A and B are shown apart, each in its own frame.
Chain A
Amino acid sequence: MLSFIGRSIIQKIITLFFVSVVSFLIIHLAPGKPSQVDPMNPKFTPEMVERFRLEFHLDKPLHTQYLYFYRDLFTGKTVSWKDNQSVLKKIWERFLNSLPLFIVGTILTWTLSFPIGIRSAIFRGGFYDRSTTFLAYLLISIPGFFFAYILIIFVVTHFHVPVIGMETFGLGASSWIRVAMDRVWHLLIPSILGATGGIAVLSRYVRSQMLEVEGQDYVRTARAKGLPPDQVHYKHALRNALLPFVTMFGLILPGLIGGSVIIESIFSWPGMGRMAYEAILARDYPVILTVNFVSAVLVLAGTFISDLLYLVVDPRIRL
């Protein structure tokens, strides 16, 4: 057990190193320059561009820049080129904004997928199963931004209430419950949109897992014993069907930092995804690389956690 953990950590650190090198190279070798050294601005003289390059160490060879960047990152001194703010502070603020969206979206995905998927599995081939299958494929294939626009236009023109951003602007001094509920309302539509794709996919998984388990011998045995169908489905079958989902839980960790560029941009939600996207447009290397690094850490941590969860849940696996 301990040796597995140790080995796994060492492997992940090596992977992380390569990720950091590759992402650094990709960003620096990609065409385009930080907006501060944009040569198309007639107001920028070559001397100024040169001075910015010096300030950002862009004149140094790539490996020195790499060392400078990671030295700053690990001492917490990286600052954004756009506004000189500490990158870690910026990420933390954005993370707190993305978090509610992520939590509500995840809750919706995981609570809704199970009942939907289980029911389709139980009534396999029936009208309900077919219509959920159809709906699931529709939701998977419909582009997120299109669905978002339809939903926004529908809500605004029929209900005449604002849906964009984290709160209603110009609400003024209202009671705390009003303010809180207003925030919940603004969370609702983006998180529903964020969850639709997840629900469609996850409910399919649940269905197929359930179907697989329902065909097992022990389920047939349980039925033959004369147990009520609910007990067979929810006690004997579901428990075993849950196994793969436990590991999936570890993998949603990276979603924390990824955010959703499209949903956050459409709803002008000041989250992580939007910050990273805007940083890429402005070629704000410190922000891009830090987000990249943190998400790489989270992905590796996520796989590590799901490995551990497997160990805990499935007694057949011993390392």
Chain B
Amino acid sequence: MTVKRILILAPLLVLVFLLQSYLWVPTYEQQTRGNPDRLNEFIAASIGDASLLNPILTADTASSQIEGMVFEGLIDRDENLYFRGRLASSWDVYEEAYFYVNDAASIPGRGKMPGEEIVDLLIRAKHENDLPDPGLKDALRNIMEVSAIPPREFEVFRSEKIPGELKEKRRIKINIKAPARIKLRLTSVDQDLFRHLTKILGANYFASFRGEQYISTEPDVSGVRLAEYAGELVPATENNPVLVFHLRPNVRFHDGHVFDANDVKFTFDAIMNPKNLSPRIADYEPVKTVEVIDPLTVRIVYKRLYSPAIGTWGMGILPEHILNHEALKKEAGRLGKDPDKFGMRQSTFNRHPVGCGPFVFQDWKSDQYITLKWFDGYWEGPPNYKRYMFRIIPDLLTQEMEFYAGTIDSYGVQPHQVNRLKTDPRFQCFSGASFGYTYIGYNMRRAPFDNPEVRKALGMAIDVDKIIDYVLYSQGEKITGPFVKQTDYYNHGIKPVPYDPAGALRLLAKAGWKPNKEGWLQKDGKKLQFTLITNSGNDLRKAILAIAQDAWRQIGIDVRTDLLEWSVFLQERVDKADFDALILGWSMGIEPDLYQIWHSSQTRPHQLNFVGFKNKEADELIIKIRQEYDREKQVKYCHILHEIIAREQPYTFLYVSKWTAVLDKRIVIRETDDKGNVVYKKITPTKTGNYNFYFNKWIKLRDAPDFSADG
């Protein structure tokens, strides 16, 4: 019967054809032996795909990882997290400070003085040797030049919303008759300059300056708006830090075009161009001007003191010749698109980037892989690997399987697997603390969380060590404050809150919360009762939620818990500050700028200080840290700030999680020593735990080398 035969044979044939394909696929061993090229390529895996490969348009991890290899910034951070020059070979930081001559104020012992006389006064004071105040002495010594700027008149236009109308805006003409101004050039940035100068010029010299009297507007604006314009256009004092980058000569983009200062300026302009919708615009907002002095020198003047600004120049530099206005117009013409609507966001550059980093972009298949090739013209010498593959594998278990099958070279181990893989002889293993922490935050606007003792007691009731041991499989470390643990900003002298339920009860009793007949804590007839919330979908936080609830119940606090969907959690609870306590995490940058999360001005709805932490001392330090350009002083301030936050306990700081990564043992560092011999070294992590800092020197060998001799 033919039908019967067909029905049986057809599936058999299909299956045999499919199964025989197994014979053609290379196994782990064959991949490197049968294919020498495999040794020259590194295959990495990521859970998510990149979105765009343009450093100024993206902020996600996957895109940044590729951008970091294709593009190069002016500076980056070295093994110890200090800045080091990349496209810039060196840089200088100095300051230009200005203040207006205050006609109304009289200088102690000298009366009213015009500009030139103040200049003389300051120069004379600088050369005086027997000044009583050492701070003033240092401040004056730091002044390189003093000069007077004559009064000038100018006008500017602003548009502002008409009160009561939604969309209409009006144009305002502002005439400014600015008085004489004194310009000071300082060798290094000094945030206390004007405070010290008041010792010469009189305590109220700057504070009593009224800018409003020098401006007039058309049409008239009154009161507060006028004062705002005055503050902006005729500020009593102004600090302008200046950053001068000296660029490395003869650096080329991947297409052979020579990199110069215009590319830096272009990158900055592109970020600031509102049409590009760059997510990095906030980082560069404090920049006043970017000037190209000569092809290898860029001078950046800032509007105000803002030390995190230096780090922003680690941003990849875009090639101007491919993305400038004419080039985009041409591209629009070629693609048949409307040139007026065609901007950098629309350009095909975002999927075919050209930078001057160590790797050249080759190919990108969405949700599959991105391929990079080494750049043999890289200024620091090409990397050892000839190819870099970035695979997108959304599932962690499959990533692990691919790692075992040899089609990924590194694998980020999950906490529960660490003990198993750490000792596996096939792999080398690295681990370190991550740049982020998990915490329980208390809404300090609500009782009983307005009492630091209560917050501390709540923290003391939770056994963080147990959380680390059982929830994180020991892959975590305790943390006591909001700085990255590997940096020196973190104050290691601060002891974590101890696990001490009895002590917690004592503290609570001191705050008036005493156990009632049923064992619940009570004050003025009211039970201590609140709700702890977190977002759903995060198993770690869910586990902590249960642990904290249980720990608090054991000392007699009636805690309810709630899990909310992420967006509901944010919009309805966090943004509106409608919660008692919550579990969340922050990821941190290396910069110690805590303004957005801890400053008291950031406590309104939709801002990030949602716990409502307000502390005058902390506010001052946060601003000081932002304005300080001297690392040692910054570290000092950070340590004090860390102490304040640890004392106040606005959060119960729980832990930083540890990451672990495994690599094939055959991957090593290959270097050429001074005599031209090739030397192989074991990959060792830097002090901060970064194991792929020397990635450009990595290579895979045919057989795992034996480093037992070097220990």
Q: Which residues of A contact B (CB under 8 A)?
A: 31-33, 36, 39-46, 48, 51-52, 55, 82-85, 90, 93-94, 104, 107-108, 111-112, 114-115, 118, 149, 152-153, 156-157, 159-166, 168-174, 177-178, 181-182, 184-185, 187-188, 230-231, 234-235, 238, 265-268, 270, 274-275, 278
Q: How far, in whole Å, are A157 and B405 apart by their CA atoms in the complex? A: 8
Question: B18 touching A184 by the CB < 8 A rule?
Answer: yes
Count the B residues whose beta carbon is within 8 Å of the partner chain — how many? 76
Query: A188 touching B394 by the CB < 8 A rule?
Result: no
Q: Measured between C-beta atoms, what is the minimum distance from B536 to chain A in Å?
A: 12
Flag whether B690 is at the interface (Cβ < 8 A). Answer: no
B: which residues have CB within 8 A of A?
A: 1, 3-4, 7-8, 10-11, 14-15, 17-29, 31, 35, 37-38, 41, 43, 48-49, 51-52, 59, 274, 277, 279-283, 345-346, 350-351, 365-369, 389, 391-395, 397-398, 401-402, 404-408, 565-568, 570-571, 574-575, 596-597, 606, 608
A-B CB contact pairs (8 Å), 8 listed: A32-B567, A39-B606, A83-B52, A156-B404, A156-B405, A161-B25, A164-B402, A234-B3
Q: Which of A55, A112, A171 contacts B11 (CB 8 A)?
A: A112
Chain B facing A: main interface SS:
helix
| Chain A residues with CB under 8 A of B401 | 152-153, 156, 163-164
Nearest CB to that of B593 among chain A residues? A42
Report the separation of the CA atoms of residues A107 and B392 in the bound assembly, to the nearest whole angstrom: 28
A286 CA / B216 CA spacing, docked (Å): 50
Q: Among A39, A162, A268, which residue has its beta carbon within 8 angstroms of that of B406? A: A162
Contact present for A268 and B395 (CB under 8 Å): yes
Does the CB pair B366–A172 fall under 8 Å? no
- What's the least CB distance linking B373 to chain A, in Å? 14
Q: A160-B28, A164-B401 are in contact. Are A40 and B570 (CB under 8 A)?
A: yes
Given known A-B contacts A152-B397, A188-B21, A265-B394, A171 and B4 have beta carbons under 8 A apart: no
Query: In this complex, what residue of A is CB-closest to B401?
Result: A156
Separation of A172 and B51 alpha carbons in the complex (Å) = 27
The interface residues of chain A lying within 8 Å CB-to-CB of B281 are 45, 48
In the complex, the answer to whether B366 meets A270 with C-beta atoms within 8 Å is yes
In the bound complex, how far is the Cα of B370 from the Cα of A201, in angstroms? Answer: 39
CA distance A265 to B567 in the complex (A): 23
Report B-chain residues with C-beta under 8 Å of the C-beta of A152: 397-398, 401
Alpha-carbon distance A156/B279, docked complex (angstroms): 42
* Interfacial chain B residues near A115, Cβ < 8 Å: 7-8, 11
CB distance from A200 to the nearest CB of B (A): 15
- The residue of chain A having its C-beta at the shortest distance from the C-beta of B58 within the complex is A83
> Does B395 contact A266, Cβ atoms closer than 8 Å?
yes
Report the minimal beta-carbon distance from A120 to chain B, rounded to whole angstroms: 13
Residues of B within 8 A of A172 (CB): 35, 37-38
Instruction: Please indicate the chain B residues that have their CB under 8 angstroms from the CB of A108 in the complex.
Output: 11, 14-15
In the bound assembly, the distance between CA atoms of A171 and B497 in angstroms comes to 54
CB atoms of B7 and A170 under 8 A apart: no
B7 touches A114 (CB 8 A): yes
B14 contacts A188, CB within 8 Å?
Answer: no
Contacts of B31 in A (CB 8 A): 168, 170-171
Asked, given contacts A84-B345, A182-B25, whether A111 binds B11 with beta carbons under 8 Å apart, the answer is yes
CA distance A162 to B23 in the complex (A): 12
User: Could you say which of B8, B14, B29, B407 has the most chain A C-beta atoms within 10 Å of its C-beta?
Assistant: B407
